[in-house]
Structure 1
Amino acid sequence: MCGIVGAVSTRNIVPILVQGLQRLEYRGYDSCGVAVYAEGLRRARSTARVAELADQVAAERIEGGTGIAHTRWATHGAPAVHNAHPHFSHGPGEAAPSGPGRVAIVHNGIIENHDELRAALKAKGYRFSSQTDTEVIVHLLDSLYEGDLFEAVKAAVQQLHGAYAIAAFCKDEPHRVVGSRAGSPLVLGVGKDENFLASDAMALSGVTDQIVYLEEGDVVDLQLGRYWIVDRNHKPVQRPVKTVHAHSGAAELGPYRHFMQKEIFEQPRAIADTLEGVQNIMPELFGDGALSVFKQIDNVLILACGTSYYSGCTAKYWLEGIARIPTQVEIASEYRYRESVPNPRTLVVTISQSGETADTLAALRHARELGMEHSLTVCNVSTSAMVRECKLAYITRAGVEIGVASTKAFTTQLAGLFLLALTLAQLRGRLTESQEAEHLKAMRHLPAALSAVLALEPQVIGWAEQFATKENALFLGRGMHYPIALEGALKLKEISYIHAEAYPAGELKHGPLALVTSEMPVVTVAPNDALLEKLKSNMQEVRARGGVLYVLADADSRIESSEGVNVIRMPEHYGTLSPLLHVVPLQLLAYHTACARGTDVDKPRNLAKSVTVE
């Protein structure tokens, strides 16, 4: 979601700030801005792209050695310049709200008590020029400022309820930036005689590879050539400096039209990288101490959001079908707000691409508070909060995913979760040596199998041309392919803005069949499994009502194309791992439909890549 970059240096840091914002564009945003110290506070803000902000900064000759920058995804207040960050303070008796103030701030997150703070600050004479909760923080800082910004920030965060990562500087202390985080990521970049802040280490790629990951409640003070950190209790603390090579080359499109298309085609390599080094099934794949943890558990609770939730729903079939271990899958944002029955022998599994998903982190902490201490994450970012807070981890190696609609992160999550199912099955005596060998053989073949599926792209384009004229679509699946239908529907609505629903095919006659007409395309995931004959009956129900079917069938499923029945044949039947293959044509269908409709594929409206607010 929102992105932060800040710096203190003796050189002009505006190019670094702007470049950092460009590297964070993939997270999604609707406005951007930069502020620096230049004999006072100067800023530029825009509701256009960062490239336009760069032109504005150059035209206005904004330069300085201390500054902050931001990409905003709107929560409080519409996407408009007056709501864009950075915000300036305007105390009683100061210049008009449009003029330069004393303190500048950028903020990620949501301040839940902003209404109360706003009322108190207005009573003191502070004037507000935006609808954002962020402006409350900058006025609060101004009201607490007594010549030391570090002390003002420490005092201010004690009054903030909610999630935040902030970076601020003051015109009275021109070589200082102060940051703090709670519930939203923030990292410190250590340079030579200069220091940096960012919401993601990628923003600092090429500037510094010396990264400090700030912990919950930390406040950090950046000055020229030095920095210090205090924890949530304001006690001085040392955080380890890690060498992080945040690869920015992933932001290069190469021969592809969009990052989403590139990332769909990167899946064979991503799966190969994720499974690299997996020679045998063993608990150690999930970290030191995994054997002890796995022996203590008798059920699994999966917590996730969005696409990651659907990967968890797929994993439930594997965990219960292969490992015979009871598994519950919960939407993270719902789990933490309901009464549940905790079991200390539960393995709590979180799934997240970024490892910073606010709802999933909060659900993990809630589970821990309920006494469920055994935790594991399947995550794509090894340095993320999710990995740091879970006892065990399986790091997928999808690489940076730029497109908002997740693709390669999803399939690599499935690969990691399948390994978890096999590992628990082995420990529970449910996996013979021959079965293990067959499963490993199938996993090693996945990159080649995925490449064969990607070769179906021309046929999928033909479907997409027909879908582009529709406004509604229905997706059907059975068993472990029902979550794949859900994921296909999500992809289509995310980027093409076509309303799409997914159902277990057996539920058709319980309501959804009323929607079926010739204008409602029905996508059916039809692998040649034990449920195929049942699924064929469901397909006949659609045809009898004039519905048009689009069927992803295995080569040996004996489903033929005919009037109203469009069939794409998968290269081979892939058994238990077929969800990883069947989702790929659905990704391609969503992508090419969106292209045909002319939408912003990589940055769909109203959405953000890394959801770091509730």
Structure 2
Amino acid sequence: MCGIIGYSGHREACGILLDGLERLEYRGYDSAGILVSDNGTFHTVKRSGRLSNLRAAVERHPLKGCCGMGHTRWATHGGPTDENAHPHGTERVMLVHNGIIENYLELRGLLTEQGYSFLSQTDTEVAACYLDYCYHGDPIDAIREALNKIEGAYAFVIMFSDHPDTIYAIRKDGPLLAALGDGENFVASDITAVISYTNRYFVLDEGEIAVVTPRRIRILGMDGKPREKAVQTVTWDIEQAQKDGYEHFMLKEIHEQPDALRHTISPRVKNGLPDWSGDGLPKDFFSRFERIQIVACGTAMHAGMIGKTIIEKLARIPVEVDIASEFRYRDPILTGNTLVIIVSQSGETADSLAALRLAKQMELSTLAIVNVAGSSIAREAEHVLYTFAGPEISVASTKAYSVQISLLYLIAFTLGQEKGLLSEEQVRVLTRQLFASAEAVRGALRLQERIEMSAKSLAGAEHLFFLGRGLDYALACEGSLKLKEVSYVHCEAYAAGELKHGTISLITEGVPVIALCTQTALLPKMLSNIKETTARGAKVFVIAKQGETISQDVADTVLLLDDFDDLFMPFPAVTVLQLIAYFTARQRGCDIDKPRNLAKSVTVE
């Protein structure tokens, strides 16, 4: 989820681009770059690290010109280095990009045969060079030809040296808008970047090409024909613009989960089957392992619990999940055919990094699942899988959890097939269902209004319990953590069958109980456990699937999710739990995006 800005006008572009990038830095902050065209000569400055590094470099060497583009990066392909920072391209064609080019390896091979060489590790440079390859004097024809071959998600802003005051922009999946000024015009990832200059804009639809000059903005379809767009007017302030109109980043990031899932899953599926070639994993990488050890902290550890259940069910390989802060100190017994998977959103979690280093000392194979390219864990692991969720601004992790478990599902499918337990057709069916999980999450988001109403009765609670069995127990652990993180309500998660072994003594009149009932085979057992709590006066909230019968004597409130395969219910169900946590905290007036005593990345033990 990188940030993009483009400018064509009557003023010096450099300062406008830097100011815009500063407002977009929340979208990516590991490197940044700008390009300014001086009568067709491209001048580029790029720096890794925070935007302040770029600003300092530009102050030393100012760029002159009234047309240009800028980019602040959330690294995916290639670490956060000067070379990997955008813009990328050739003497004729330069571009900035937000998204993922899925077939970049294929295009890179084709271009290498044609004599192109590459300075970076990025998929973006491949896209820029392919545009150059397609360019024969008409920018629109080149864009159309290139995008017939380029696969993936993208928002491109492109400049051609022989069209020195013109910016071209096009999107597929990635956000992009064009904004109208007075003798100057803009393109940007969102209105935040240009709100100081104009509040008039229109959003590009997929496949529309914006042609931006100081005098006007033309919108063309992929057929080259002009299109009319209705101009919108923004009334948000800058902070609201960064949040796309959501009150908090946490709510925005909950709603970003369907796109994050699609961006994470799509590059790893080819011809309907899991494909890890884009991640650099050797062929049949997973087949040699007889045991898996997952190590993580907090929300990532709860993702590991889901992964354990799915991998053991589909591949029949024993999986252990350890809290990273305990892993080193229990002198773990690990054998040479064990794969150690380290899961971390930031890639900088100190305990997880220490666990990774221990595994390497023991000469074990290590695989990192992280969201931040170039992070310590990503650099030090033998192999790394990136979760393309984009930045999480809110301290409480939401979309990172969903994309982490999506990769663990794909690993389970791969293992199941390589171990001969799943046929190719069974894996295709499972993979289609995993893709469908994004739509299941959208269905859960449609319950937001009901969840908001239900949260009103939770806001006054001093104590609260989450119950579940199987996958639902792992979800209960994450639901409990999310609620206590942001609302400060004391809550605990229990395997429902354990209630009678002591915990039920804490259930008294009016105590809220959130019961997860998404696993059809376990529903009768869950209903029995729930009745044990209602008999003691608990106020019960049930989360179940459409078609399940939950009588009034069992629950005070029932939230019904769209019917979906039990195996994939964690995706929509966790969305409901995240919304419960968010709206409970909102009712209590908490600082939702920055909960007390917590940090986004825990870099000390």
On the 8 A contact 2:543/2:559 being kept in 1, the answer is yes
On the 8 A contact 2:378/2:384 being kept in 1, the answer is yes
Q: Which amino acid aligns with 2:402?
A: T
Counterpart selection for 1:327 from 319, 341, 346 = 319
Q: Offset of 1:188 from its aligned partner?
A: 11
Q: Distance in 2 between matches of 1:25 and 1:507?
A: 43
Task: Give the corresponding residue for 1:383.
Answer: 374
Q: CA separation of 1:285/1:548 partners in 2, compared to 1, >3 Å: closer, same or farther?
A: farther
Q: Distance in 1 between matches of 2:527 and 2:444?
A: 23
Task: Give the corresponding residue for 1:158.
Answer: none
Q: Which amino acid aligns with 1:276?
A: S
Runs of 4+ in structure 1 over 4 Å off = 19-27, 185-190, 192-195, 204-211, 240-245, 247-251
Counterpart selection for 1:290 from 262, 282, 306 = 282
RMSD: 3.4
Q: Does 1:212 align with 2:81?
A: yes
Q: Does 1:258 align with 2:248?
A: yes
Q: Offset of 1:286 from its aligned partner?
A: 7.0
Q: Which amino acid aligns with 2:310?
A: W
Q: Distance in 1 between matches of 2:413 and 2:307?
A: 11
**Residue aligned with 1:467, SS:** coil
CA deviation vs aligned residue, 1:284-329 (integer Å, no higher than 9, x gap)? 2573343353232110000100000000011100110101111010
Structure 1 length-normalised TM: 0.61
On the 8 A contact 2:304/2:321 being kept in 1, the answer is yes
Task: Give the corresponding residue for 2:310.
Answer: 318
Task: Give the corresponding residue for 1:105.
Answer: none
Counterpart selection for 1:271 from 261, 265, 290 = 261
Q: Which amino acid aligns with 1:334?
A: E
Task: Give the corresponding residue for 2:339.
Answer: 347
Matches within 5 A, 1:69-468: 189=53, 191=57, 211-212=80-81, 252-277=242-267, 278-279=269-270, 280-282=272-274, 284=276, 287-372=279-364, 374-468=365-459
**Residue aligned with 2:322, SS:** strand
How many residues align? The count is 410
On the 8 A contact 1:549/1:564 being kept in 2, the answer is yes
On the 8 A contact 1:560/1:567 being kept in 2, the answer is no
Q: Which amino acid aligns with 1:258?
A: H
CA deviation vs aligned residue, 1:318-377 (integer Å, no higher than 9, x gap)? 1101011110101111101221212111111011111111111110001111221x1111
On the 8 A contact 1:552/1:568 being kept in 2, the answer is yes
On the 8 A contact 1:378/1:396 being kept in 2, the answer is yes
On the 8 A contact 2:296/2:304 being kept in 1, the answer is yes
Q: Distance in 2 between matches of 1:561 and 1:613?
A: 48
User: Which structure 1 residue ranges, 5 or more long, are not aligned?
Assistant: 1-12, 28-184, 196-203, 215-239
Task: Give the corresponding residue for 2:233.
Answer: none
On the 8 A contact 1:211/1:243 being kept in 2, the answer is no
On the 8 A contact 1:323/1:421 being kept in 2, the answer is yes
Q: Distance in 2 between matches of 1:208 and 1:308?
A: 20
Q: Offset of 1:518 from its aligned partner?
A: 2.3
Task: Give the corresponding residue for 1:547.
Answer: 538
**Residue aligned with 1:341, SS:** coil
Task: Give the corresponding residue for 2:491.
Answer: 500
Q: Distance in 2 between matches of 1:306 and 1:248?
A: 32
Task: Give the corresponding residue for 2:551.
Answer: 560
Task: Give the corresponding residue for 1:486.
Answer: 477
CA deviation vs aligned residue, 1:365-396 (integer Å, no higher than 9, x gap)? 01111221x11111112222222222222211
Task: Give the corresponding residue for 2:579.
Answer: 588
**Residue aligned with 2:402, SS:** helix
Q: CA separation of 1:432/1:208 partners in 2, compared to 1, >3 Å: closer, same or farther?
A: closer
Q: Distance in 1 between matches of 2:26 and 2:259?
A: 24
Q: Distance in 2 between matches of 1:299 and 1:517?
A: 43
Q: Distance in 1 between matches of 2:74 and 2:445?
A: 37
User: Which structure 2 residue ranges, 5 or more long, are not aligned?
Assistant: 1-14, 30-48, 62-69, 84-118, 125-187, 193-240
Q: CA separation of 1:459/1:289 partners in 2, compared to 1, >3 Å: closer, same or farther?
A: closer
CA deviation vs aligned residue, 1:527-571 (integer Å, no higher than 9, x gap)? 142111111110111111111110001112211334753111112
Q: Offset of 1:194 from its aligned partner?
A: 5.3
Q: Which amino acid aligns with 1:533?
A: P
On the 8 A contact 1:411/1:580 being kept in 2, the answer is yes
Q: Offset of 1:463 from its aligned partner?
A: 1.3
Q: CA separation of 1:213/1:524 partners in 2, compared to 1, >3 Å: closer, same or farther?
A: farther
Q: Distance in 2 between matches of 1:560 and 1:525?
A: 15
Q: Which amino acid aligns with 1:262?
A: K
CA deviation vs aligned residue, 1:123-160 (integer Å, no higher than 9, x gap)? xxxxxxxxxxxxxxxxxxxxxxxxxxxxxxxxxxxxxx
CA deviation vs aligned residue, 1:205-261 (integer Å, no higher than 9, x gap)? 6599995399xxxxxxxxxxxxxxxxxxxxxxxxx987899x996981111100000
Q: CA separation of 1:462/1:192 partners in 2, compared to 1, >3 Å: closer, same or farther?
A: closer
Q: Which amino acid aligns with 1:453?
A: A
Q: Offset of 1:443 from its aligned partner?
A: 1.6
Q: Which amino acid aligns with 2:276?
A: E
Q: Percent identity, aligned pairs only?
A: 39
**Residue aligned with 1:560, SS:** coil
**Residue aligned with 1:530, SS:** helix
Structure 2 length-normalised TM: 0.62
Q: Distance in 1 between matches of 2:294 and 2:404?
A: 13
Q: CA separation of 1:213/1:477 partners in 2, compared to 1, >3 Å: closer, same or farther?
A: farther
On the 8 A contact 2:74/2:391 being kept in 1, the answer is no
On the 8 A contact 2:511/2:537 being kept in 1, the answer is no
